[in-house]
Amino acid sequence: MTATLDTTLSLAGALNRALADALAEDERVLVFGEDVGTLGGVFRVTDGLAARFGDARVFDSPLAESGIVGTAIGMAMNGLRPVIEMQFDAFAYPAFEQITSHLAKLRNRTKGQVELPVVIRVPYGGGIGGVEHHCDSSEVYYTHTAGLRVVTPATPDDAYTLLREAIDSPDPVIFLEPKRRYWEKGTVDPQRRSPGLDKAVIRRAGSDVTLISYGGALGTTLEAAEAAAEEGYDAEVIDLRSLAPFDLETVAASVRRTGRAVVVHEASRFCGYGAEVAAQLSEHCFHYLEAPVLRVAGFDIPYPAPNLEQHHLPGVDRILDAIERLQWDDAAPLDGEK
């Protein structure tokens, strides 16, 4: 990663630059999907790439997600490194059979002889006032599928670094981009090396409770941590970054220090990603926990209409409510979810 970047970029801009640098440095890299060429993508993440690299390397595909993924699999089997875009999260469902039956399994099926270095970029989550099929949080479908790496950046710097690392990975990577954070800006350092494609990071140090989040919900979680400090709670915030594999070492070390944990994500609570995190912590940190691990998540409903999504998405108040219910006074057991 030797390119020169502007100091400040939006998350979308950081992704664009990461794609441009990967295309420039490795002729095996291709970018394609619906409207990613001339238009530059619905969210303009691929803006200008077709003009710079030509339509043999950045090009539009038919409106057929299964065909997009199937084509990428064939390309990867023949030595290319395709980066494909699913225009919206729920648009990827028609390609699910290709992803789970072939993309995730072919390396194992061939005893490692065939690598599939495919990156599937998926704009996911809510917060943009979109309707259903445009705002799903579909991460658990992929994390439950062995053979896939699943990562999600929450900052522009991570957007650049994680995408470069995902493109370099020999494994297929589901790259979940929190669309509500596309326009947020931050410092991007292309020379920075992340702790690894499968590592979590501590975004805020604290001693009383560990708040665990990722993607679009991380910013809200950090806001809640600052608000909690005003109420006397010192919250540590962990950005998972990698959902599969899960960085148990980093998360467990934090929870063993604080004794309490809250998991925050946008997806529905039932069988959501937070359930796996809570189970892992219960198994590995049971004797360190001062209270049950709590989850703050979306409601167990189909994604609501735009004028209702602010009630569906976890907010600062709901996170603070969970922190307050962590048996600080040991007076009584929890009385159920609010």
Say how far apart CA 149 and CA 142 lie, in whole Å. Answer: 8
Dihedral of CA 287/289/291/293: which sign? negative
Compute the average pLDDT of residues 142-170.
Answer: 97
Per-residue confidence (pLDDT) for residue 330, from 0 to 100: 57
User: Does the pLDDT of residue 191 top 90, yes or no?
Assistant: no
Distances (CA, A) of 123 to 21, 137, 297: 20, 10, 19
User: Does the pLDDT of residue 334 top 70, yes or no?
Assistant: no
83 burial level (CB within 10 Å; 0-12, 13-18, 19+): buried
In the annotation, is 311 catalytic? no
Say how far apart CA 46 and CA 81 lie, in whole Å. Answer: 16
Per-residue confidence (pLDDT) for residue 7, from 0 to 100: 82
Compute the average pLDDT of residues 26-32.
Answer: 98
Per-residue confidence (pLDDT) for residue 133, from 0 to 100: 85
Distances (CA, A) of 309 to 124, 149, 266, 300: 14, 29, 11, 13
User: Does the pLDDT of residue 147 top 60, yes or no?
Assistant: yes
The distance between the two most distant Cα atoms of the chain, rounded to a whole number of Å, is 66
Say how far apart CA 180 and CA 294 lie, in whole Å. Answer: 24
> Out of 134, 284, 287, 311, which one is annotated catalytic?
134
What confidence tens digit (pLDDT) does each residue in 82-138 have?
999 999 999 999 999 999 999 999 999 999 999 999 999 999 999 999 888 899 999
Per-residue confidence (pLDDT) for residue 6, from 0 to 100: 53
Spatial neighbors of 154 by CB under 8 A, at least 6 apart, are 178, 181, 213, 214, 215, 216, 218, 219, 239, 241
Per-residue confidence (pLDDT) for residue 79, from 0 to 100: 96
User: Does the pLDDT of residue 49 top 50, yes or no?
Assistant: yes
User: Does the pLDDT of residue 60 top 80, yes or no?
Assistant: yes
User: Does the pLDDT of residue 333 top 80, yes or no?
Assistant: no
Three-class SS of the chain: CCCCCCCEEEHHHHHHHHHHHHHHHCCCEEEEECCCCCCCCCCCCCCCHHHHHCCCCEEECCCCHHHHHHHHHHHHHCCCEEEEECCCHHHHHHHHHHHHHHHCCHHHHCCCCCCCCCEEEEEECCCCCCCCCCCCCCHHHHHCCCCCEEECCCCHHHHHHHHHHHHHCCCCEEEEEEHHHCCCEEECCCCCCCCCCCCCEEEECCCCEEEEECHHHHHHHHHHHHHHHHCCCCEEEEECCEEECCCHHHHHHHHHHHCCEEEEEEEECCCCHHHHHHHHHHHHHHHHCCCCCEEEEECCCCCCCHHHHHHHCCCHHHHHHHHHCCCCCCCCCCCCCC
What confidence tens digit (pLDDT) does each residue in 293-331 have?
999 999 999 999 999 999 999 999 999 999 999 999 854
Least confident of 52-66, 69-83, 126-140, 256-270: 126-140
For residues 332 and 59, which has the higher predicted lDDT (pLDDT)? 59
For residues 190 and 72, which has the higher predicted lDDT (pLDDT)? 72
Average pLDDT for the chain: 94
Per-residue confidence (pLDDT) for residue 1, from 0 to 100: 43
Per-residue confidence (pLDDT) for residue 193, from 0 to 100: 80
